């Protein structure tokens, strides 16, 4: 998940008005609390050029979060949906998909209506989620073409990452929902040696493989956006080890390592 623009930056990120597209979604009421956008991305939806909409709000407080300014919910949406609609209409023919990210997008009751309008406009729909609200996730999965689901740790290790008790249960319920849905997916884990030793990663990977996960990614911590000084102060170059990576590549038909400076 990429870092979102700050709220101040978000107000200036929408492109200036351009020619109207030939295809536009029928106007409808959407009350999605949008904290920022990225007009163009080649990395947030595999194989597709997309725009990213960052939804406000997340009840978890992960120390390595790239978008801590999106954790809180403001009274009014920094970007109103009518402007998002016009922005997407101007992107018709230039991008293939729209990805809803956050924050935690399933926290917002307006997500389903926003996704429906995006689909009606002819875009594919992507979703980045931490799996915090499995029932809400099930409600929108029929509208989703691809989902990136964060599984942050083993069940026993979740609280150390999210700083919220019992946070692993909804995440693993969301994992079951995604695997049962038939939607294209990536399951991914952001790792840091302070939070994930190699035994933790190994145990989690075995659990995911037994659950039926075939597409798995490890994302090594990057300090971009992170406000946790304890995590930022650690520097590491040989993490995870080559031996562990070989084990993971043998377990998953599709395995990706994302790490600054190469993979």
For residue 23, what is the domain's CATH number? 3.20.20.70
> According to the model, what pLDDT value does residue 9 have?
41
Give me the domain span that covers residue 173: 7-258
pTM listed for this prediction: 0.85
The pLDDT tens digits of the residues spanning 151-163 come to 999 999 999 999 9
Residue 4: per-residue pLDDT: 56
Q: Find out whether 71 and 132 touch, Cβ atoms under 8 Å.
A: no
Residue 237, pLDDT score? 75
DSSP element (H, E) containing 149: strand 146-150
Q: Residues 105, 127: contact at Cβ < 8 Å?
A: yes
Position 46 scores a pLDDT of: 96
- The answer as to whether 37 is a domain residue is yes
The Cα–Cα gap between 239 and 191 comes to: 9
Domain membership of residue 1 (yes or no) is: no
202-206 own/partner pairs: CB under 8 Å, 24+ apart: 202/244, 202/247, 203/154, 204/151, 204/153, 204/154, 204/157, 205/247, 205/248, 205/251, 205/252, 206/251
Query: Which parts of the chain have pLDDT scores under 70?
Result: 1-28, 223-235, 260-263
What pLDDT score does 175 carry? 98
Judge whether 174 lies within some domain. yes
Number of domains the chain contains: 1
Indicate whether 2 belongs to any domain: no
Closest CA to 30 of 114, 119, 120: 114
């Amino acid at each position: 998940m990429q870092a979102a623009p700050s709220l101040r930056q978000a107000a200036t990120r929408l492109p200036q008005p351009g020619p109207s597209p030939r295809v536009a979604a029928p106007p409808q009421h959407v009350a999605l609390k949008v904290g920022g956008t990225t007009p163009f991305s080649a990395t947030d939806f595999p194989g597709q050029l997309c725009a990213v909409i960052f939804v406000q709000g997340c009840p978890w407080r992960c120390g390595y979060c790239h978008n801590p300014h999106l954790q809180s919910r403001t009274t009014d949406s920094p970007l109103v949906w009518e402007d998002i609609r016009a922005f997407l209409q101007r992107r018709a023919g230039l991008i293939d998909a729209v990805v809803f990210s956050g924050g935690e997008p399933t926290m917002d009751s307006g997500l389903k209506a926003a996704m429906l309008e995006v689909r009606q406009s002819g875009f594919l729909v992507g979703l980045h989620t931490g799996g915090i609200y499995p029932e809400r996730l099930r409600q929108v999965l029929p509208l989703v073409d691809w989902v990136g689901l964060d599984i942050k740790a083993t069940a026993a290790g979740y609280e150390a990452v999210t700083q919220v008790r019992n946070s692993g249960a909804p995440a693993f319920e969301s994992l079951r929902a995604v695997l049962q849905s038939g939607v294209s997916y990536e399951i991914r884990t952001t790792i840091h040696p302070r939070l994930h030793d190699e035994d933790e990663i190994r145990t989690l990977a075995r659990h995911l493989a037994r659950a039926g996960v075939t597409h798995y990614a490890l994302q090594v911590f990057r300090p971009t956006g992170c406000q946790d000084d304890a995590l930022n102060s650690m520097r590491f170059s040989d993490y995870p080890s080559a031996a562990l990576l070989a084990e993971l590549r043998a377990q998953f038909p599709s395995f990706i390592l994302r790490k600054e400076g190469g993979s």
